[in-house]
Structure 1
Amino acid sequence: MMMRRLLLAGAVAAVMMATAAEGFISKKTWSAIRQANRGGPFVGLVVPNAYEMDPVLNSPSFSPSLTLPYLDVQGRRFRFGAIGGQNVVMVMTGLSMLNAGLTTQLLLSLFKVKGIVHWGIAGNADEGLQIGDVTIPEHWAHLSLWNWQRYGDGPENELPLEAAGDYTRDLGFLNFSDYTATGRSPNELNSIWYQPEEIFPVSGVPEQRQHAFWVPVSKHYFALAEKLEELELPACVNGTTTCLPRAPKVTRVSKGCSANVFLDNAAYRQFLRRKFGCTPVEMESAAVALVAHQQGVPFLTIRSLSDLAGGGSDLGNEAAKFLAIAARNAVDVMLQFVPLLAGVGAVDM
């Protein structure tokens, strides 16, 4: 009996050792990660939602890996394959800056990634463009890091902790009184001051913070994207009579802006355009940009415009109506861009 117990205990111990975790990832999963990396380096494909990812999975341009089509790690599914001869690893982040940042960091920590391409839909803050147009910004900023000023203080008043270097008035503010419908009067919400992100680049000294507001995309990727500006995109949703006034176009723009806000408000959209020069406004790209920037990995974001961010019909937001064509256009542009990265390494910023 004692010998049987010892044998059973030894077997249990052997199983536990075989599946023991290194951190929160099991040895079995680490083994699969090492196997996957034999197919690298990869172009990392980062996408927010299923409706922006499913057209890729259903496209003949995407060839899933036959040996390891996917690997599940920490609640994320990493899909392996090829697009235009480029080995890729694709992951869906889910909604918001937090999900996008966590997923991008996990991607870079686990796999050999030479560059990141991110795509999806966005609201439009530029009235010179239309729904369905695909934008490729040169810079990204996160616009939901604020210092909210107390009632009664104004632009001349120092912000809390500003003297310590934690906050700044350099980027300016939004004063709610400016948007009082019955005329300008004091508003107890007062003002919010926009703040840059604290960052800790791998090339810097650990725990010695730097700051970043406008994060540039890869200069080389942005230059390559010029080749996409002649693409012909469909003006109608497949199989329907829902059509746009003109065929959508691909255009490189100066600035894109992200925040943990679904924007369906014309006044705020106009403010963002006037204050920051935003074109696409959405909820993830700046997080991807900030992680890639800190890790020294080249990246590019492709965002198709699905609605006018509160500036269109009074009957409702247009995103539900045009989501399919906007998502499809973003995917089509991404599928054309990835093959352009043939021979481009991680050092090519």
Structure 2
Amino acid sequence: MAANLKICSVIFLAVVVLNEQETNGALSARTWRKIYNANRNGPYLGLVIPNLFEMNPLLQSPSFTSSNLTLDFDGRRFRFGTIGEKKVILAMTGLGVINAGITTQLLLSLFKVEGVVHCGIAGNANPSLNIGDVTIPQYWSHTGLWSWQRYGQGPKDELPLESDGDYPKKIAYLKFANYTVNAAHVASYDNLLNNIWFEAEEVYPIDETPEERQHTFWVAVDPHYFNISKKLEVLKLEGCTSSTTCLSETPKVTTVKRGTSASIFLDNAAYRSFIYNKFKVRWTWKARLWHSYVFSKRCLSLLLGLSRTWPVGAWPSPMKPTPSPRSPQIIQLRLLWNLSSYYQLVSLVTKLISTHRY
């Protein structure tokens, strides 16, 4: 009798799992089957791109061959194909660090991914860089986590929760009064907005004690990818799209030390100068994944990887409980805003992926 009950239980569970109309889990049986079949053909390189405006040049590139497989989940569409001989998954994130984090986490949690390439347009905080330049930062920060100090207090005063280790005054702060205009004739002046203190992000490494936090401000991209990208600095980029449309300076590929990110579309010279001088960033990623590069989403994806304690951007396949022998990696390529030269970034991404080797 007990044996019959066990058999009936197994059959019942199998029916529930296989019949998606009876399944109440987050993923339907049909979606799980698609993910499973896709992962059988992996591993893949993931390409994470802010929007269709920036993705379409890659989709239209002769270097990209679609496998005619797309998987829609949670409002995201994952497009499968190849670039050269490398299998890739393309995913659009949408604006802001939250969308970037969700999309990248889904990509790495659902699929067997060995690396991630972020690419898109960005803003520039470094006067030595020009429109059309393609830059690859080695380190990223997120400059959108602040402790906003109350009026009347200053650097010598304790911030709320600072004694608990939440908001230490270790990195930098911006004093609004320093940006007052038309005040040359005034002996002293202040600003009710007072000061904002930049704070490090909390991370929770997967192989440490649960809920035991660590803090990090600068996050390194994967050194393997960064070394590959340095080899691309010799590439010659086109400065003209036609006989009458040219950039004032011939664009170049360059690696830079630092970039920064926040959910802020940065179009303010004073703040851009502050970011550059205080943090020595070279560009900014705007409200998609941009900052000195000034970026708004990229750093969050790197933080996701860091919290896993594998090389930045390392997530195992959801179909297997153990990570692959080599974990995923992340690198970011940023093009200083210029639509006509965006196609050069597509070419660069293609070369980066085609030269990818472990």
Shared fold, TM over 0.5: yes
2:197 to 193, 198, 222: 193
Moved over 6 A (4+): 13-16
Letter in 1 for 2:192: E
Alignment correspondent of 2:298: 285
Alignment correspondent of 2:353: 338
Q: Distance in 2 between matches of 1:325 and 1:61?
A: 18
Q: Distance in 2 between matches of 1:15 and 1:34?
A: 14
Alignment correspondent of 1:17: 19
Measured after TM superposition, the shift of residue 226 of structure 1 is 1.2
Q: Per the alignment, do residues 22 and 329 of structure 1 end up closer, same or farther by CA in structure 2, a change over 3 Å counting? A: farther
**Within 5 Å, which residues of 2 pair with 1:295-306?**
295=308, 296=310, 297=314, 298-306=329-337
Instruction: Report if the CA contact (8 A) 1:140-1:215 is conserved.
Output: yes
**Within 5 Å, which residues of 2 pair with 1:11-90?**
17-21=19-23, 23-66=25-68, 69-90=69-90
Q: Distance in 2 between matches of 1:28 and 1:103?
A: 20
Measured after TM superposition, the shift of residue 23 of structure 1 is 3.1
Unpaired segments of 5 or more residues in structure 1? Answer: 1-12, 307-321, 345-349
Q: Distance in 2 between matches of 1:175 and 1:328?
A: 40
Measured after TM superposition, the shift of residue 108 of structure 1 is 0.8
Measured after TM superposition, the shift of residue 294 of structure 1 is 2.2
Q: Per the alignment, do residues 15 and 98 of structure 1 end up closer, same or farther by CA in structure 2, a change over 3 Å counting? A: closer
Q: Per the alignment, do residues 240 and 164 of structure 1 end up closer, same or farther by CA in structure 2, a change over 3 Å counting? A: farther
Letter in 2 for 1:26: S
The normalised TM-score by structure 2 is 0.83
**Within 5 Å, which residues of 2 pair with 1:1-349?**
17-21=19-23, 23-66=25-68, 69-183=69-183, 185-236=189-240, 238-239=241-242, 241-282=244-285, 283-295=296-308, 296=310, 297=314, 298-306=329-337, 322=338, 324-342=339-357, 344=358
Q: Distance in 2 between matches of 1:116 and 1:76?
A: 16
Render the CA deviation track for 1:279-317: whole Å, top value 9, x for unaligned.
1211111112112222322210000111xxxxxxxxxxx
Instruction: Report if the CA contact (8 A) 2:17-2:23 is conserved.
Output: no
Q: Distance in 2 between matches of 1:73 and 1:179?
A: 46
Measured after TM superposition, the shift of residue 48 of structure 1 is 0.7
Instruction: Report if the CA contact (8 A) 1:125-1:279 is conserved.
Output: yes
- % identical aligned pairs: 47
Q: Distance in 2 between matches of 1:274 and 1:148?
A: 21
Q: Distance in 1 between matches of 2:166 and 2:67?
A: 47
Letter in 2 for 1:262: F
Instruction: Report if the CA contact (8 A) 2:17-2:29 is conserved.
Output: no
Unpaired segments of 5 or more residues in structure 2? Answer: 1-14, 286-295, 315-328
Measured after TM superposition, the shift of residue 333 of structure 1 is 1.4
Q: Distance in 2 between matches of 1:128 and 1:187?
A: 32
Q: Distance in 2 between matches of 1:293 and 1:205?
A: 15
Render the CA deviation track for 1:82-122: whole Å, top value 9, x for unaligned.
11211111100001101000100111110011111101000
Render the CA deviation track for 1:168-220: whole Å, top value 9, x for unaligned.
10001000000001236110000000011111122322211111110000111
Measured after TM superposition, the shift of residue 22 of structure 1 is 5.7
Measured after TM superposition, the shift of residue 240 of structure 1 is 7.5
Alignment correspondent of 1:311: none
Q: Distance in 2 between matches of 1:285 and 1:339?
A: 22
Q: Distance in 2 between matches of 1:77 and 1:143?
A: 29
The normalised TM-score by structure 1 is 0.86
Q: Per the alignment, do residues 325 and 137 of structure 1 end up closer, same or farther by CA in structure 2, a change over 3 Å counting? A: same
Instruction: Report if the CA contact (8 A) 2:45-2:117 is conserved.
Output: yes
Q: Distance in 2 between matches of 1:290 and 1:117?
A: 15
Letter in 1 for 2:96: S
Instruction: Report if the CA contact (8 A) 1:20-1:26 is conserved.
Output: no
Q: Distance in 2 between matches of 1:34 and 1:249?
A: 41
Instruction: Report if the CA contact (8 A) 1:159-1:167 is conserved.
Output: yes
Q: Per the alignment, do residues 158 and 109 of structure 1 end up closer, same or farther by CA in structure 2, a change over 3 Å counting? A: same
Letter in 2 for 1:301: Q
Q: Per the alignment, do residues 291 and 243 of structure 1 end up closer, same or farther by CA in structure 2, a change over 3 Å counting? A: same
Q: Distance in 1 between matches of 2:341 and 2:275?
A: 22
Q: Distance in 1 between matches of 2:333 and 2:280?
A: 17
Q: Distance in 1 between matches of 2:22 and 2:93?
A: 27
Instruction: Report if the CA contact (8 A) 2:117-2:331 is conserved.
Output: yes
SS of corresponding position for 1:45? strand
